[in-house]
A and B are shown apart, each in its own frame.
Chain A
Amino acid sequence: MWQIIKNEWRFLSRSRALLGVSLGLAGILFLSVFLGHQQTQSQVAAQQEAKAHLRAQWENIEGMNPHSAAHYGTYVFKPSSLLGSLDEGVNGVTGNVLRVEGHVQNEIVHSEASQMQAASAFGKLKGSLLLQYIVPLLLIFLAFHAVSSEQQSGRLKLLVLQGASSTAIIWGKTLTVWIYGLGLLLVTIGTYTLLYLQAFTTDMLNRSLLFFLTYALYYFVISGLTVFLSAYWQRATLALTTMLGVWILWTIFVPSILMSAVERWHELPSRNSFQTAMRADRAEGLDGHNPADERTKVLEEQTLAEYGVDSLSQLPINFDGLVMQADEEYGNQVWDKHFGNLRTVLERQKNSYQLAGIFNPFVSLQNASRGFAATDNLHHHHFLLQVEDYRRVFIKTLNDEHAFGGSTTGDWGWEADNTFFKSVADFEYEPVRLSSVLPTYAPDVALLLLWVGLVNLLLVLASKKLRVI
């Protein structure tokens, strides 16, 4: 079989057109990763500048009432994932700026897509665009006449007479095309590794390896299936047109149709009804029978009892701070309920979409690619949750200062000093560890493996049925 692979490579290297296309594609792949790196760098620089600017404003607050500071709030900018140079995922369509303040959990806003007219239906020129759409097509073009041309030219008979088994021929042809795909994959990952060598962590290494693995599996499916069709149809044109049809269905038709369908099966609420429901829960209580006023009364009685006094004016602390924190905590429960529901719907959508990998391996590849590049919706939600966790600590710190910092109830003119504001920690994003999200992508990898198994079976079938004469 190795002799066949060697011969195939010798044959391929003689084709000047292929050499030109290969060099051109490798060049574009190199360029795509390099440009992706440039874009990430410029975005990171802009984020760092904006973050430093806002932090300086916060640290320069000379004196401010903590509750006013909660309204003044802060802003968090969505950090760029270094793996985003390979696959941008959802980052172009999600927002970049999130306001962190008291009383309300804001939404992330100002997406890149909203800042310009339509520019590309398939995203930027990232490695993933070429690896998902263009490279498979090239593999199809390399493999569609792999067997049929040998049959037509009579070389197949010659190969068999020389002692090559049909299995070796079929597998040799498949592996040759697959190795070619791996070569292009290596150019991409290699360029990426070189560009980020200094920032490379174990997590990034593992993610890159898995990224490589999923594409390698997909390329095997494409190469093997095309070789199978080439042997099965015995007519190159038919094999090519069938595979082109499969490619269009897998990469263009099915993903778009499925994503729309999945959103209909598991419907998300409209923004207005979602916010109305949240406002109602916050005002009337989660059970609808526990309005804010009554909750405040209960808290007042508890606090007076705790401090052994009869009125709020006798309290040594500022009761307003306690009320606001209690309201925040209630609001947090409301948020957890509603955003939890939203997350559940989105998870259901993802799970349903993942299942489509059973009949479309491209779906599994796409899911795994943006998942391992840390740019899918799951990672986006992890970021949002981290910001919300930070918001809770941030607001509690301010409310505690309001309650216990030295003021008394009703003293809205009291101000915390600069030392306090400097002591409030800034938001630091903790990248999601691969191990914590790996189970989510296990079905995608498993389905790709299943497809590899299926293609293996087809290749075995093709080698058994191969007609030499």
Chain B
Amino acid sequence: MSWLSTYLYEWKHLSHSRFKLVALLLYLGAAVYGLHNGASLYNDRVTEIERIQQKAQEDRNTYLAYYEAGEKGPEDRPWVDVTSPFWAVWYSNVYHFKRPSSAMVYSIGQAEQYGYYKRVSFWASPLDADMTQEIANPERLQTSSLDFAFVFLFLQPVLLLILLYNLKSAEVEEGIFPLIEVQTTNSQGWLLSRVGFYLSILVVLNLGLLFYGALLTGVLKTAAVAFWQLLLFGLFYLLLWTGLYYLVLRRGKTIMGNTLLMAGIWLLLVFVVPAGVQQRVSIQMPANLMADFIDAKRDERTAIFNQPDSVLQAQLFALFPEIVNSPVANDSTKINLARNQSSSSLANELTKASVVKIEQENQTRNSLLRASYWFNPVMYFQNRFNSIAHTHYDNYEQFRQEIQILIDRQIKIMVLDTWEDIEVNEEQFQEYAKTLSVL
């Protein structure tokens, strides 16, 4: 029997199996729903980012008006002087965004566990409270978002199980398998071609779904590489499950036995192993309560401010050797204010050091999780999908690093210009806003 005739027979079989058709339709429905969920989150984020950017620009324009009017700042804040680098940088009102990839349509991943915009200031840090997740129902977050990746990674193996569960074993149970062996001469090839038929159906179906998702957010225009990567890894994933199930079907002789074994493999790889690995990591490394970070933000920061001026100045000179011979360093009337305004740079060094430790601890957790991939393939693929869709932990760590770079740059410009006694005008203010927001 040729592959083509096996395919044709299998098509007939499938079209007569209501159970399998319903399962296919359910999968299709869930996948489309998942794609729309991803697209909806992507659109919400794009809209929100635009709104925040617009508001930030409006606020900046308010401060720009002070320069045009020759005023120092708002009337009710007499201490503000927008011509000083300190206040000009402060009012530059810079935001940094984690812009969503259009491939988010495929995998929401960890996007809902982190903030995606941050007002950058010289007092900020990448672990500030405003970096927390969007307002959402925690019970929904715990239940897991139904995105395309969820459907593909967790439900597709069930669909495959439903499509394959009775292959060969039905013929064995009905006693017609010896006849097939005679007719086909190669019963393994016959089984393989039948499994191949369902694999082809799923490949075509998933390809269609990927294209549909691409239409929703324009993936092919803006993240074509992500599309092909997903296709490739999706194919690997599908082959993994098909291979596992094929081995079961090849050795199994009863429908019940095969179904039980295939369901057992699914339960093990989807539920038990990932849950067990997470439990182990949580015991080994409980959630960080950020005591070091709190110390850096509070007691250690207070200690900086309580230091004698001479110590504070020495620390500033060590951090910025450029200011040692600056005009303000030799001006006794301005040095006190400059020193106080520059103290955020020392506080920043403290928080940076504590953040590095926290990020390292998180990476140790990730290493533990990655070490489990060889027996935890589902989570490998989940993280790969997240990574491709830019919704992985690492993408948000990158976002935090970018924020830190912008904070450092803001501090450096503010400190150097303050000690150089630069008077900020309208153009300089606009230049600040530009320089401080671009990486």
The minimal Cβ–Cβ distance linking A80 to chain B, given in whole angstroms, is 9
Contacts of B51 in A (CB 8 A): 272
**What are the residues of chain B within 8 A of A145 when measuring CB–CB?**
256
Given A118-B393, A350-B139, residue A245 in contact with residue B23 (CB < 8 A): yes
How would you classify the secondary structure of chain A's contact residues: helix, strand, loop or mixed? helix
B-binding segment of A89-97, A390-398, A422-430, A447-455: A89-97
Quote the shortest CB–CB distance from B276 to chain A (angstroms): 5
* A118 contact from B136, B267, B289, B379, Cβ within 8 A: B379
B250-270 vs A: 1/0 string, CB under 8 Å? 000001100110010001001
Residue B310 at the chain A interface, CB threshold 8 Å? no
* Interface check B308, CB cutoff 8 A: no
Q: B391 — nearest CB in chain A belongs to which residue?
A: A118
Give A453 to B180 CA distance when docked, in angstroms. Answer: 49
Distance of A115 Cα from B285 Cα, bound (Å): 10
CB-CB under 8 A from B135, the residues of chain A are 268-271, 274, 342
A50 x B291 contact (CB < 8 A): yes
For the complex formed, measure the closest distance between the CB of B151 and the CB atoms of chain A, giving whole angstroms: 9
Q: 8 tightest CB-CB pairs across the interface, nearest first?
A: A256-B146, A120-B274, A119-B278, A90-B138, A117-B393, A112-B287, A125-B275, A259-B140
CB distance from A56 to the nearest CB of B (A): 11
A99 to B132, CA, bound (A): 13
Asked if B365 and A248 sit within 8 Å, CB to CB, the answer is no
Residues of B within 8 A of A137 (CB): 263, 267
A147 to chain B, nearest CB (A): 15
Whether A237 sits at the interface, judged by CB under 8 Å, is yes
* Complex interface bits, A214-249 against B, C-beta within 8 A gives 1, otherwise 0: 000000000000000000000011001100110011
Q: A109-B129, A116-B369, A245-B19 are in contact. Are A133 and B134 (CB under 8 A)?
A: no
Query: Is A77 an interface position by the 8 A CB rule?
Result: yes
Contact B142 A90 (CB under 8 A): yes
- Let me know if B145 is at the binding interface, CB within 8 A: yes
**B289 lies within 8 A of A125 (CB):** no
Q: Which of B37, B139, B276 contacts A90 (CB 8 A)?
A: B139
Please judge, given known A-B contacts A77-B289, A96-B289, A117-B393, whether A134 and B146 are in contact too, CB under 8 Å.
no
Q: Which one of A33-41, A179-187, A319-327, A407-415 is at the B interface? A: A33-41
Please tell me if the beta carbons of B142 and A89 are within 8 angstroms of each other in the complex. Answer: yes
Q: Are A259 and B274 in contact (CB under 8 A)?
A: no
Which residues of chain A in 3-45 are interfacial with respect to chain B, using CB atoms and an 8 Å cutoff?
A: 28, 32, 35-36, 38-39, 42-43, 45
Query: Quick one: closest A residue to B52, CB to CB?
Result: A272
Q: Does B333 contact A (CB under 8 A)?
A: no
Return the CB mask of A103-140 against B: 1 if under 8 Å, else 0: 00011111111111111111111100100011001000
Determine the distance from Cα of A110 to Cα of B291 in the docked complex, in whole angstroms.
11
Size band of the A side of the interface? 35 or more
**A405 contacts chain B at the CB level, 8 A cutoff:** no
Contact between chains at B290 and A124 (CB < 8 Å): no
When the two chains form their complex, are residues B288 and A35 in contact, meaning their CB atoms are under 8 A apart? no
Known: A43-B286, A118-B109. A54 touches B382 (CB 8 A): no
Bound together, the chains give a CA A40 to CA B386 distance in angstroms of 29
Q: Is the CB of B279 within 8 A of A92?
A: no
Interface flag for B283 (CB, 8 Å): yes
In Å, the complex CA distance between A208 and B270 comes to 28
Q: Is B137 at the interface (CB under 8 A from chain A)? A: yes
- The listed residue (A32, A53, A120, A376) touching B291 by CB distance below 8 A is A53
Q: Are B298 and A117 in contact (CB under 8 A)?
A: no
Instruction: Contacts A39-B286, A125-B279, A245-B19 known; list 13 others, CB within 8 Å.
Output: A57-B298, A107-B132, A118-B392, A124-B279, A129-B275, A137-B267, A145-B256, A236-B256, A240-B256, A248-B158, A256-B150, A353-B139, A366-B143
Sample (30) of A-B pairs whose CB atoms are under 8 Å apart: A42-B286, A43-B282, A46-B289, A57-B299, A75-B294, A89-B139, A89-B142, A90-B142, A94-B138, A97-B290, A112-B282, A114-B113, A118-B392, A120-B277, A120-B379, A124-B275, A125-B278, A126-B279, A129-B271, A145-B256, A237-B166, A241-B165, A256-B143, A257-B30, A259-B139, A260-B37, A260-B146, A268-B135, A271-B134, A380-B138
A122 near B139: Cβ-Cβ < 8 Å? no
* A72 close to chain B: CB less than 8 A: yes
CB neighbours of B30 from chain A (8 A): 253, 257
Contact with B along A378-391 (1 / 0, CB 8 A): 00100000000000
> Which chain B residues have a beta carbon within 8 Å of chain A's beta carbons?
19, 22-23, 26, 30, 33, 37, 44, 48, 51-52, 109-110, 113-115, 117, 127, 129, 131-146, 150, 153-155, 158, 162, 165-166, 255-256, 259-260, 263, 267, 270-272, 274-283, 286-291, 294, 298-299, 302, 361-362, 365-366, 369, 379, 382-383, 386, 392-394
With CB as the reference atom, state the residue of chain A lying closest to B288: A115
CB-based nearest B residue for A253: B30
Q: Closest residue to B386 on the A side, CB-wise?
A: A118
A window 35-84: CB within 8 A of B? 35-36, 38-39, 42-43, 45-47, 49-50, 53-54, 57, 72-73, 75, 77
- Give bound CA distance, A39 to B263, whole Å: 29
Q: B256 near A93 (CB under 8 angstroms)?
A: no
**Interface residue? A400 (CB, 8 A):** no
The verdict on A120 contacting B263 (CB below 8 Å), with A43-B286, A50-B289, A110-B289 known, is: no
Residues of the B chain whose Cβ atoms lie less than 8 Å from the Cβ of A115 = 287-288, 361-362, 365
- Contacting residues, chain A, for B23 (C-beta < 8 A): 245
**Which chain A positions have C-beta within 8 A of B26?**
249, 253
Q: Are A240 and B259 neighbours in the complex by a CB distance under 8 Å?
A: yes
Q: Is the pair B129, A106 in contact by a Cβ cutoff of 8 Å?
A: yes
Q: Which residues from B are CB-within-8-Å of A123?
A: 142, 275, 278
- A300 touches B (CB below 8 Å): no
User: A346 at interface (Cβ–Cβ under 8 A)?
Assistant: yes
Which residues from chain B contact A122 at a C-beta distance below 8 Å? 144, 270-271, 274-275
B132 touches A133 (CB 8 A): no
Are B283 and A376 interface neighbours, CB within 8 A?
no
Question: A141 an interface residue at 8 Å Cβ cutoff?
Answer: yes
Whether A263 sits at the interface, judged by CB under 8 Å, is: yes
Whether the Cβ atoms of A47 and B365 lie closer than 8 Å is: no
Instruction: Indicate if the CB atoms of B267 and A133 lie closer than 8 Å.
Output: yes
Assuming the contacts A42-B286, A57-B299, A106-B129, asked whether A256 and B145 have C-beta atoms less than 8 A apart, the reply is yes
Residues of chain B lying within 8 A (CB to CB) of residue A35:
279-280, 283
